[in-house]
Amino acid sequence: MLLLAFALAVTILFVVLRVLGNPVFALISVGATDAEIAAAAARLGVDRPIPVQFAEYVGQLLSFDLGQSFTNRLPVGEEILRRLNVTLPLTLISFALSVLIAVPVGFFAAWKARTWYGTAFSAAAQLGGAIPVFWVGILLVSVLSLGWRLFPAGGFPRTDWEEPGAALYALTLPVLTIALVAGSDLARYVRSATLDILGQQYLRAARATGQSFGTALRRHGVRNGVVPLISILAIQLSTTFVGAVIIERVFALPGLGDMLLVGIKEQDFPSVQGVLLFSTALVLLLGFAADIAQRIIDPRLRDSLSGNRRTKALA
Amino acid sequence: MTSRRLSRLLTAAAAAAAGALVLAGCAAGTSAPGASASADPAAEIVVGSQNEPTNLDQIFGGSSGVTEVFTGNVYEGLFRITDDAEVEPLLAAETEVSDDGLVYTFTLQDATFHSGKALTADDVKYSLERFIGEDSIAARKNQLSVIDSVDVVDEQTVEVTLSQPSISFTYNLGYVWIVNSDAGDLTTTADGTGPYALADYRKGDSITLEVNADYWGEAPANGGVVYQYYADPTALNNALLTNAVDLVTSQSNPDSLAEFEAAGFQIIEGTSTTKELLAFNDRIAPFDSVEVRKAVYSAIDRQKLLDAIWDGRGELIGSMVPPSEPWYLDLADNNPYDPALSEQLLTEAGYADGFTFTLDTPDSGVHSTVAEFVKSELAKVGVTVEINIITDDEWYQKVYTDTDFQATLQGHVNDRDINFYGNPDFYWGYDNADVQTWLKESEAAATVEEQAELIKKANQQISDDAASVWLYLNPQLRIAADGVTGVPQNGLNSLFYVYDIAKA
């Protein structure tokens, strides 16, 4: 199933790119003759029929070779790994921070749902999720960087992670931007999952047996509430990863998103294919991992292919 | 003594000590000479730019970004083009030209490549042949197609034979890199003779140049240069404001200039060779008629456009030739802004009721803004413009290769590109036999004066014919932090020599 989805992605991407664009024009300039344009096309191999190019590409993929960039012949796989130095920490730290924000906020909003401050929290979460992420980024740059000179306006140190302090310092504002928006979004899901649990009979039953609210929640509530949340978290992680594209442009970070955007502008098919296939694989794997995690946590899901716990009666 | 008295004594002592330190600091501050005024020869200059090269090799389509970083800095040519567009010898220490102008004999400078190998005539032969070879898609390849053969006379002497005389030959050589013949693939590495060597290449981020300790010429005024690339112009401006970069090579938005001036930055304004053109397809109606073209030309208030886009900077030009070139003529008023004249010309041409045409507009830069302006100006004389926004890629296919267009907007960055009007197959299809003859003969001229005279005739003709509408000449705006000196002022086709830049 996974392989089929992946194969479909590869094919569609390959064909669409070649039909819509021409990488030669990124290399030539005004003054180039027809002969030069033809020579450039021949060197890139894009003048061959599409099935031939596709066969070669699939062959490369099967040996885990993502090919070379059309514009500078750097191996795409290595370039992706290099860019991950920036994008992976950015994604993971933002994600962790967004969960740290979302869980208390969402829980609190649900727990105190009928009070004015609980509603305020809920409203704040709604607002946070509605604001475009690049606007938050620009705002943070404007106030914290240009205004108060607390953080750099962008860029990633050339010394990479050899100086972790400098790298983390450069990632502070981008992480904050993503975490604020993604966290608000996630908080709404946490709130609705919590409301769901709080209203359940089994919690009341647990309280009736003498457990405190906290213990009942911990032993029974969390495990039930977390199952749908895991799907959301997996999607959120993939979205954060791919959505880092805009953030990387605002903060001039040389990550995977930047590689994608520049690749599109330069019609560098191997780079664009490499990044998108990587993201596709990541999303598929995360979804798969989420499915497995759900089945571990909720035994009722283990017997069916796609569990819907409401259809299965408790034994 | 009591503890209270002791503590009071200690506090007083501490205060006195602190006071003494402060005074000493003040004294030291005032007595030290103005150390910040002199430049630091070991300082690393960080240059901010939006013009990242697609790769590091000029023959493989590295784009103008590669000239900005490498030409003159990492790689040198036989000649150098100065900031004033003059040609100076560089690696060609001595030049001899035969009487018929066909054989150039160059005696080479004593120089070594960054890898340690000495520069020989073999490297020059390799470099020139590489530039004009089959695999090359270098931007200026055609201008060197006059080269017939390159021969090695001895280790330090090269002989180049041309198929016809070419007075611009030494100028064109100023753009050709002399590379190490043993170097191999140069798309991600570099090996030249220049004052800097390539230290680090991070695609999408930066290119770092370190000083070449064995350089044959004068040492640079700084300790190394980093080109930091930004895709977003706002991010670039923010970087300059927060001192993440020392200077910006090209400011494309005049609105932010006031902010920089207020913050104490230097605005360096020079001339560029980037011309904004409204190019007609001179082959097809209605633009095959000179009156129609002149009518469109006179309907557009170019000064107003320039003021709107560049806020009083930049210049108006009347033809393809900017003031920096030896054959410049002030033709800005040759087709003046005169809507009444425009309407009269349209009537004479048989379009008293006006006409409609499609303007293919690339979606990059300011072209869409210019298109809107052109549309509103032409509406006043009864000409309807349909704006068709296309990508740069589509432009290359539809307009440049297939010439399937009526009119288009484009920025032309090359210097000395009036030659495009001597090629009837060029995308705008201007076909005037006189212009072609003059331009061809100018290359065979015996002196630069003769060359200039002939090209001036062509210059006048294309303006009289309104072959295109030359809307304006972009200024070259560079912004540098206070204390940064030696920044090249003019922008000749992206040349940017960094060896004179110094900062305190």
Could you tell me the CA-to-CA distances from A53 to A23, A67, B283, B364 in Å, in that order? Answer: 14, 12, 38, 30
Q: A249–B231: do the CB atoms touch at under 8 Å? A: yes
**Calpha distance A252→B159 (Å, rounded):** 48
Mean pLDDT by 10 residues, chain B (504 residues): 57 48 41 52 92 88 84 94 90 92 93 93 94 84 89 93 91 92 88 94 92 93 94 88 92 82 90 92 92 94 92 90 91 92 93 92 90 94 94 88 93 89 92 93 89 94 94 93 92 89 90
Find, among B460, B456, B163, the residue nearest to B331 by Cα. B460
- Chain B 139-158, residues with CB within 8 Å of chain A CB atoms: 139-142
Q: A29–B134: do the CB atoms touch at under 8 Å? A: no
Find, among A231, A238, A222, A220, the residue nearest to A293 by Cα. A231
Q: A249–B401: do the CB atoms touch at under 8 Å? A: no
Model confidence, pTM: 0.84
Interface check for B384 against chain A (CB to CB < 8 A): the answer is: no
- CA B72 from chain centre, in angstroms, equals 13
Q: Which chain B positions have a beta carbon within 8 Å of A138's beta carbon?
A: 234
Could you tell me the CA-to-CA distances from A205 to A191, A218, A220, A311, A313 in Å, in that order? Answer: 22, 14, 10, 22, 18
Q: A27–B63: do the CB atoms touch at under 8 Å? A: yes
Q: Are A159 and A170 in contact (CB under 8 A)?
A: no
Q: Which amino acid is at B221?
A: A
Q: For all residues of chain B together, what is the average pLDDT?
A: 88
Q: A153–B400: do the CB atoms touch at under 8 Å? A: no
Interface check for B135 against chain A (CB to CB < 8 A): the answer is: yes
- Phi-psi sector, A154: left (phi>0), alpha (psi -120 to 50), beta: left
Q: B396–A79: do the CB atoms touch at under 8 Å? A: no
Is the ipTM, as predicted for this complex, more than 0.95?
A: no
**Calpha distance A186→B40 (Å, rounded):** 52
Q: A250–B142: do the CB atoms touch at under 8 Å? A: no
Q: A30–B142: do the CB atoms touch at under 8 Å? A: no
- CA B187 from chain centre, in angstroms, equals 21
**Calpha distance A218→A148 (Å, rounded):** 43
Q: B137–A249: do the CB atoms touch at under 8 Å? A: no
Bridge partners (DSSP) of residue B222 are: none
Find, among A76, A128, A42, the residue nearest to A268 by Cα. A76
**Calpha distance A12→A177 (Å, rounded):** 33
Bridge partners (DSSP) of residue B276 are: B411, B472
CB contacts < 8 Å between A and B, how many? Answer: 123
Shortest Cα distance, chain A CAs vs residue B134, angstroms: 8
Cis peptide before B233 (omega within 30 of 0): no
| Low-confidence stretches of chain A (pLDDT beneath 50) | 307, 312-315
Contacts (Cβ under 8 Å, ≥6 apart) of B284: B406
Shortest Cα distance, chain B CAs vs residue A259, angstroms: 7
**Calpha distance A8→B40 (Å, rounded):** 59
**Calpha distance B348→B295 (Å, rounded):** 10
Q: Which chain A positions have a beta carbon within 8 Å of B60's beta carbon?
A: 27
Of all residues in chain A, the one with the smallest CA distance to B200 is A158
Neighbours of B181 (CB within 10 A): 18
Query: What is the reported pLDDT for B22?
Result: 43
Q: Which member of A31, A79, A249 has the closest CB to residue B142?
A: A31
Candidates B130, B131, B189, B203, partner chain A, best to mutate (most A CBs within 10 A): B203
Neighbours of A305 (CB within 10 A): 7
End-to-end CA distance of chain A: 31
Query: What is the reported pLDDT for A268?
Result: 86
Q: Which amino acid is at B249?
A: T
- Phi-psi sector, A131: left (phi>0), alpha (psi -120 to 50), beta: beta
Find, among B350, B359, B339, B357, the residue nearest to B295 by Cα. B339
Q: Which member of B202, B208, B392 has the closest CB to residue A254?
A: B202
Of all residues in chain B, the one with the smallest CA distance to A259 is B204
Q: Which chain B positions have a beta carbon within 8 Å of A36's beta carbon?
A: 137, 141
Query: What is the reported pLDDT for B11?
Result: 52
Q: Which helix (H) or strand (E) holds B49?
A: strand B45-49
